[in-house]
Chains A and B, each alone.
Chain A
Amino acid sequence: MTDVCISAQDLVFTWPGQHQSTLNIPALTIQRGERVLLRGPSGSGKSTLLSLLAGVHDVQKGELQVLGTSLKTLSSRRRDRFRADHIGYIFQQFNLLPFLSVTRNVLLALEFSKARRARLQSLNTGAQAECERLLTALGIPQELWEKPASQLSVGQQQRVAAARALIGQPELLIADEPTSALDTDARDNFLALLKAECERAKITLLFVTHDATLSKHFDRVIELHQINLGHPGASEVKV
């Protein structure tokens, strides 16, 4: 088993209809267990890189390996399964299905992945037990567990989203500006909990933000505009 979690070489991505590449990364390596802050302002090619890592879009040129698997060689269906099994993903906000209960939101991640269920089994824990452990660890009061997700505060929702991303111990956790909607206290609290859980399960954390003040929480900071030689810009408009 390799110690490298993410490795990219001469990774070039051009959106259809664009003349210039949005992404052009000659080299990027992230070790397993590393906690990396990927910093990049809007329009730096961030979303494109994340969707390639998550296997939502095809790798067009160059090499991109996650956990030793070349995403280029996988069909889109296999990439979906790869994501389900190995990658936890947290959005900026609106992570939860508002009509499902907190618990069911968390357990949903297991329904798409046999590997996550198997890992829970090898840890001698059940889905429900692990879900409750994570929710407790992330500070969600028990009386909220069966409430619809829509009744939770934004901070609580983000922590439930973290629980869902972490359940079944995926190797890689991608968090795409998960704290941007939180106030400072909630943000620090969230980061601390996330860090603790990642450490506990030896999960590689790729944390994306444009907030430089967070760098103290991470092993390493990668400035995207320094490693990306492409020309993002108009093609990546994030509102």
Chain B
Amino acid sequence: MNLIRLALASLKSRASNAFLTVFAIAISVTLLLGVERVSQETRAGFANTISGTDLIVGARSGSTNLLLFSVFHIGNPTNNITWQTYQHWDNNRHIAWTVPIALGDSVRGFPVVGTDQRYFEHFRYGRQQNLAFEHGGPFEIGEAVIGAEVARRLGLELGSELVVAHGTGSVSFHEHDDHPLVISGVLARTGTPVDQAVYIHLRDLDMMHGGHSHDHEHGHEAHEHSGHEGHNHESHDHGDHEHGHSHGHGDHTHTGDSHEAHAHHGQHGEAHSHEEQAHAPPPIPGISAFLVGLDSRPRAIFLQREINTYRDEPLTAIMPGTTLQDLWRTLSGFERALTVVSAFVLLTGLIGMLTMLLASLRERRREMAVLRSIGAGPGTVFTLLVSEAVALTLAGIVLGVALLYGALLVLAPWVQQSFGIVLAVSGLSFPEWVRMGIVLVAGLVISFVPAWRAYRNSLTDGLSVRL
């Protein structure tokens, strides 16, 4: 039976109405799938951002804040951890490795992460994947490593020079152009915030902020506003002063520590200084956070408590997995709200279809009578209406998916740039198929209303239609 072809031909004769109906359904499908897609990708992105790190330690702050700035480079650290404190924990016998992180500067809008070579050794994302280099290798002093997205967006490659700006805005009023860095490596794409960051050595970061200076009065703030001539002068001295730079105090870090922190530092510096001064001078007086890997994972909970109750400096330690989950739970309410809104948009689309089908029934009673006269039963009339609605819904779903992919292609780079969420233009996932199935079933169920009415009409009308 060519009922489907008949339904399509009939629909075609009402093309403009049909198209509007399809379009309304398509938009709701795009929204439904889009919300699902974005939240899936966000969730996956969240979960994949960091792995293999047992604890993240920062100055005392909210755990979400610590997670956001240390891993996602969103927001700013509230305070710094002194190098001495960091050293103290680095030497803890349960701790296998640590990676220091200092944040606060940027390169044309991309965050700069001050760290050292251990970052490339220990940082893992996704399923315990290490960072890989697309080109080159880890930085030495005076060099920088950039993420894949930074390389692409800024058109930088191995050997390019880059200038770090103070602060995190994309427009900075102060650039450390006295201290350009040479790119030593470009990281392979990870789909995480790693792609969006510039990695430099802690020591370079410190130098940019005048940390080499022995002059306490020449603090961070003063430095920020000083003229470029002064900078050039200072930069000449770098090489000479690097090794002599051993005091490690002063609020010279880029994140703008308070005098209080400075005082802290002064107090406790003595207690731990014998350790580090025996080895090497601290590359920077303070860091924003450090990542911790343990010999035995179950120890994380004990160590977390130990760090949180450390009396020499107020610290916060978080287990990234747990905090990610908490954060996700906070966001999932928002996701649900969006889903509800798109469900209502879908409802509107389906009611539009219902209206269109019901309105068309009046003019189509003649059509139904003709079909009856050549032997179509009321059941056929019912089926015809249902298949018409299903065809409309299917077309709406197909168009909706096309719109979704169109939107993904257009918006994905912007979303990645703005929110660090990588929207992969991948195939449809199972939950997305489920949502499309729900739309189809809803369209089917709604079509029973006009189909039932057409069925009743064709029973009472028979072959004689009174118009």
- Judging by beta carbons under 8 Å apart, are B467 and A56 in contact? no
B10 at the A interface (CB under 8 A): yes
In the complex, per-residue mask of B364-390: 1 if CB is within 8 Å of any chain A CB, else 0: 001101111111111110000000000
B374 touches A109 (CB 8 A): yes
- How many chain B residues sit at the interface, stated as a range, is 20 to 34
| A1-9, A60-68, A79-87, A119-127 - interface stretch | A79-87
Asked if A239 and B372 make an inter-chain contact with CB atoms under 8 angstroms apart, the answer reads no
Q: Is the CB of A77 within 8 A of B379?
A: yes
CB-CB under 8 A from A94, the residues of chain B are 366, 370
* Interface-lining segment among A96-104, A188-196, A217-225: A96-104
Q: Is the CB of A50 within 8 A of B463?
A: yes
A97-B367 in contact given A89-B373, A111-B1 (Cβ < 8 Å): yes
Q: What chain A residues lie within 8 Å of B369 (beta carbons)?
A: 91
- Check A51 against B463 for contact (C-beta < 8 Å): yes
B375 A112 Cβ-Cβ under 8 A:
yes
Residue of B nearest to A100 (CB): B9
B372 partner residues in chain A, CB cutoff 8 A: 56, 80
Report Cα–Cα, A94/B6, bound state, in Å: 17
Instruction: Establish whether residues A164 and B13, one from each chain, have CB atoms under 8 Å apart when the complex forms.
Output: no
Q: Is A237 an interface residue (CB 8 A)?
A: yes
Check if B463 sits within 8 Å of A56, measured CB to CB: yes
- A56/B1 contact (C-beta < 8 A), A91-B373, A112-B375 known: no
Taking the closest CB of chain A, its distance from the CB of B372, in whole angstroms, is: 7
Within 8 A of A (CB), among B1-20: 1-2, 6, 9-10, 12-13
The answer to whether A108 and B374 have CB atoms under 8 Å apart is: yes
One of A57, A81, A98, A104 near B375 (C-beta < 8 A): A81
Q: Which residues of chain A are near B6, meaning CB under 8 Å? A: 97, 100, 108
**Given the complex, which residues of A lie within 8 Å of B2, measured CB to CB?**
111
Q: In the complex, which residues of chain A have a beta carbon less than 8 angstroms from the beta carbon of B464?
A: 47, 50-51, 176, 238
Classify the secondary structure of B's interface with A: helix
Q: Tell me, yes or no, whether B180 is within 8 Å of chain A by CB.
A: no
A80 in contact with B9 given A89-B463, A91-B463 (CB within 8 Å): no
Q: Give Cα A84 to B367, complex, Å.
A: 16
Contact of B462 (CB < 8 Å), options: A51, A95, A96: A51
Complex Cα–Cα for A85 and B366 (A):
21
Question: Could you say which residues of chain B place their CB within 8 Å of the CB of A81?
Answer: 375
- Which residues of chain B have C-beta atoms less than 8 A from A47's C-beta? 463-464
Bound CA span A89–B378, Å: 17
- Given the known A-B contacts A76-B377, A239-B467, are A56 and B370 also in contact in the complex, defined by CB atoms under 8 Å? no
Partner of A84, one of B12, B370, B375, B378: B375
Q: How many residues of A contact B (CB 8 A)?
A: 33
A89 to B462, CA, bound (A): 12
> B466 on the interface (CB 8 Å rule)?
yes
Q: How far apart are the CA atoms of A89 and B380 in the complex, in Å?
A: 18
Which chain A positions have C-beta within 8 A of B373? Answer: 54, 83, 89, 91, 95
Min Cβ gap B208→A in Å is 74
In the assembled complex, the CB of A110 is this many whole angstroms from the nearest CB of chain B, namely 9
Q: A81-B375, A111-B2, A112-B376 are in contact. Are A96 and B466 (CB under 8 A)?
A: no
Q: Which residue of B lies closest to A78 (CB)?
A: B377
Asked if A113 CB lies within 8 Å of chain B CBs, one says yes
Bound-complex Cα distance A84 to B378 (A): 13
Known: A89-B373, A109-B374. A238 touches B13 (CB 8 A): no
Please, how many angstroms separate the alpha-carbon atoms of A112 and B371 in the complex? 9
The answer to whether A80 and B13 have CB atoms under 8 Å apart is no
The CA of A157 and the CA of B341, in the complex, are separated in Å by: 50
Q: What is the chain A residue whose CB lies nearest that of B375?
A: A84
Closest to A89 in B: B373
B390 to chain A, nearest CB (A): 19
A-B contact pairs, 13 of them (CB 8 A): A51-B462, A51-B463, A56-B462, A76-B377, A84-B375, A85-B375, A95-B373, A97-B6, A108-B374, A109-B374, A164-B374, A176-B464, A239-B466
Given A112-B375, A176-B463, output 14 extra A-B contacts at Cβ < 8 Å: A47-B463, A56-B462, A76-B377, A77-B379, A83-B374, A85-B375, A89-B374, A91-B369, A91-B373, A100-B9, A108-B374, A109-B375, A111-B1, A111-B2
Binding site for A on B (CB under 8 A): 1-2, 6, 9-10, 12-13, 366-367, 369-380, 462-464, 466-467
